[in-house]
Every structure is written in C-alpha cells, then in structure tokens.
Amino acid sequence: MQLFYGHIAAERFYLHESEINHCVRVLRKNAGDSIHFITGDGNLYFGTIEVASKRVVEGTYTVEVERWGSVPYDLTVAVAPTKNMDRFEWFLEKSIELGVSRIIPLRCDRSERKVIKEDRLLKVALSAAKQSLKARLPQIDPLTSFEDFIAMNLEGTRCIAHCENTERTPFTALAPAKSLIVLIGPEGDFTPDEVQSAQQAGFTPIHLGQSRLRTETAALTAVSMVYAVHL
C-alpha cells in the first residue's frame, strides 16, 4: 500500500508539503486518482484527489479504518538520547514499528547529549509509521529534564531500569500492564540521586535481563517485551 501523510481542514484533505513531490512528480497522481493517507490521529483515510499541482494536493476523503494498526496498550518510554544520534534515531524508528505511544527524550545528570533536532525526529517517526502501516504517530516530547519529567506524575505502571546492584523486579512481571511508563537512563546510567527520586515518585526498579545493554538497546528491549506480551 502506498501511504501518504496529510491533514484535514474544512472537510478536505491536504497532503503535507513533503509528500507532494512524490505524489505528483514521482507517482504521477492527478485529479480523479485515489490515495490512502494518514494524519497521525489513528485513522486510515481514503481520499480522492481534486487538485494536484507542484504546491498542493487536496481533495475529498472518507475514513476507511479507525484505529488502523493500533496496539492494545499505552507505552511511554522516557529515555536519554545517545551521544551518537544515529543510535537514538534507530531506537525511535524501531519502537514506532512496535507500537510505542509516546517518547520523552530525557536530559539527565550524566547525559552526553543536551540538544536534539525535533524536526528530524518527526521525519524519522513519520517514515517508521508509514512503513509499519500505523495510522497513529506517537507523541515525541521536547528534550525534558529529569526533574521536570518526574514532576509530570504520569499515570500508569511506572518503572525505572538502572544498573545499580540493588533489588530489581524483572520487567517481564510488569510488561502485561495496559499502561506503562518506562525510564531508561543515559550511557553512564542514572545517578543514585535520580534513582532515589524516581522511586520516591512511585517508579519500580526493574532489570531487562542479565546483560548490560546500551541505552538504545535497553529502550528497544523494553518496547519489544511489551509488544510480545500483548500479541
């Protein structure tokens, strides 16, 4: 299926500017042709093109499938972006393929990356959603300090993965929950103060197995575990 991204206004659809060239010049779509598109709201739309130019593709539409490609759980991953952004973008792409609901990039005490390009992450997210046939784009937050994240007091089963040699619950015991928030630290791990702060806020310390994992591997492992449990 060829899938496009757009928005809806005044009962008409409009393709995003980044999609117009591929639609009109590459695929040679014209007025009267039909397309499938998503807006990020979770629905698959069927559209009939009425205007096709180098600047705009618009037309009428109907909802073809509601909650298209959705998963039966809500999963938020708060994770510190890696120094090498290619690795973080790899995690972003794969986690969207598996059905993550929200990604919150974290700035922690030991974070090596202090800046992210939100436009670039949105582009990666959109490509992953289209490739994996999902109509809902996950929410991708701006870079958020650890303290501000804790203050959000998000609802759901909350857990923090860390490498300290203390008692931790296997994540597999929590993965069946319908609403999950998972904290994954930077390459140098969370500080003891951050771990304590999270626990005081109701986060359960967890482990993801016996191996010591890279940040992006740990984050994707958590997403994969939840996906597998809910198959």
Q: Note whether 226 and 180 are within 8 A (CB).
A: yes
In the chain, CATH 2.40.240.20 sits at 3-65
Distance CA 74, CA 83 (A): 28
pLDDT by residue, tens only, the chain of 231 residues: 899 999 999 999 999 999 999 999 999 999 999 999 999 999 999 999 999 999 999 999 999 999 999 999 999 999 999 999 999 999 999 999 999 999 999 999 999 998 999 999 999 999 999 999 999 999 999 999 999 999 999 999 999 999 888 899 999 999 999 999 999 999 999 999 999 999 999 999 999 998 999 999 999 999 999 999 998
For residues 141 and 105, the answer to whether their CB atoms sit within 8 Å is: yes
Q: Where exactly does CATH 3.40.1280.10 map onto the chain?
A: 74-229
Q: Which fold has domain 74-229?
A: Alpha/beta knot (3.40.1280)
Three-class SS state of 183: strand
Name, in order, each residue with C-beta under 8 angstroms of 84's C-beta and a sequence gap of 6 or more.
none
Chosen CATH of 3-65 out of 2.40.240.20, 3.40.190.10, 3.30.420.590, 2.70.98.30: 2.40.240.20
d(CA 173, CA 128): 29
